[in-house]
């Protein structure tokens, strides 16, 4: 433990926060604190309307831009949706798919998570697929089944080549935005289960190099412990990603 022997990805999920002007300010603060840090990949997943300003600011830097959702059709009569090609052209490199808030409030299903994943991969985006159990699932002792099923279904028809562009974020729903974090051991155990699902489908080598993040109230204080666990290769960070000092501290923790 403690050896960051492989790629680590720290991604901020801004959710529905920050107007373009506020985004500009936040990114410049983050940039001033993380520049020169090369040991992990840094991504900011921003609201759609913030993408142009953020993409132009971070172009060529160590910060990459992500979106928070993508539609699975290439174009057409889908009012209010955004396609993978649109994101690509705006400089987006990563996209979050299947966040629990989308599953909970916007009718996202395992099927649509899979379709969005495939569309994004086809367009050459990197996908951060979110999986995670609810409190009721954990209390019923079905965390393993729930997370394994979500992972398997999200990866249907994803080729081994495409899998290199997939990150899986383990986000226990009960830990998101609640200030309750999974313990290092709880988080590591489930990330290990996810890695096993990937290994069963794609083999051990690919599973080993797959980035598996933890998300759910990760912050400047608990990041180091979580990131030191052998199955945790990064974080998907909500609340703390809006605070430049905290986000930078997590990036720093990922390098140790």
Catalytic residue positions, numbered? 99, 171
Asked if 65 touches ligand PGA (CB under 6 A), the answer is no
Q: Which stretch binds ligand PGA (CB under 6 A): 105-113, 117-125, 214-222, 247-255?
A: 214-222
Asked if 212 touches ligand PGA (CB under 6 A), the answer is no
Q: Which stretch binds ligand PGA (CB under 6 A): 29-37, 142-150, 234-242, 244-252?
A: 234-242
> Which one, of 87, 41, 54, lies nearest residue 68 by Cα?
87
Closest CB to ligand PGA among 68 and 114?
A: 68
Closest CB to ligand PGA among 54 and 202?
A: 54
Among 26, 125, 218, 226, binds ligand PGA (CB under 6 A): 218
Q: Which residues pair with 236 in a beta bridge?
A: 11, 215
Residue 68 C-beta: closest distance to ligand PGA, Å: 9
Closest CB to ligand PGA among 64 and 202?
A: 64
Q: Which stretch binds ligand PGA (CB under 6 A): 34-42, 86-94, 120-128, 237-245?
A: 237-245
Asked if 232 touches ligand PGA (CB under 6 A), the answer is no
Cα→Cα distances 94→1, 3, 52, 200, 230, Å: 28, 25, 14, 25, 24
Among 172, 215, 234, 244, binds ligand PGA (CB under 6 A): 215
Asked if 132 touches ligand PGA (CB under 6 A), the answer is no
- Give the footprint of ligand PGA on this chain (CB under 6 A): 13, 171, 176-177, 215-218, 236-240
């Amino acid at each position: 433990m403690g050896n960051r022997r492989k790629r680590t990805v720290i991604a901020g999920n801004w959710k529905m926060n920050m107007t373009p002007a506020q985004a500009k300010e936040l990114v410049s603060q983050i940039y001033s604190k993380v520049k020169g840090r090369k040991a992990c990949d840094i991504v900011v997943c921003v609201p759609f309307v913030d993408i142009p300003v953020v993409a132009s600011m971070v172009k060529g830097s160590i910060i990459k831009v992500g979106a928070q959702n993508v539609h699975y059709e290439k174009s057409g009569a889908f009012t209010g949706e955004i396609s993978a090609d649109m994101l690509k052209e705006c400089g987006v490199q990563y996209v979050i798919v299947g966040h629990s808030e989308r599953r909970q409030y916007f009718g996202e299903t395992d099927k649509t998570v899979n379709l969005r994943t495939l569309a994004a991969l086809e367009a050459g985006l990197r996908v951060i697929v979110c999986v995670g159990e609810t409190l009721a699932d954990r209390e019923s002792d079905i965390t393993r089944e729930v997370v394994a099923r979500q992972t398997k279904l999200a990866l249907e028809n994803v080729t081994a080549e495409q899998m290199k562009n997939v990150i899986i974020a383990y986000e226990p729903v009960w830990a998101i935005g609640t200030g309750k974090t999974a313990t290092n051991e709880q988080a590591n155990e489930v990330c290990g289960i996810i890695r096993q699902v990937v290994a069963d489908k794609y083999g051990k080598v690919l599973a080993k190099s797959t980035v598996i993040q933890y998300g759910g109230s990760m912050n400047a204080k608990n990041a180091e412990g979580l990131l030191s666990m052998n199955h945790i290769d990064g974080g998907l960070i909500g609340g703390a990603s809006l605070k430049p000092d905290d986000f930078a501290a997590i990036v720093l923790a990922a390098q140790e």
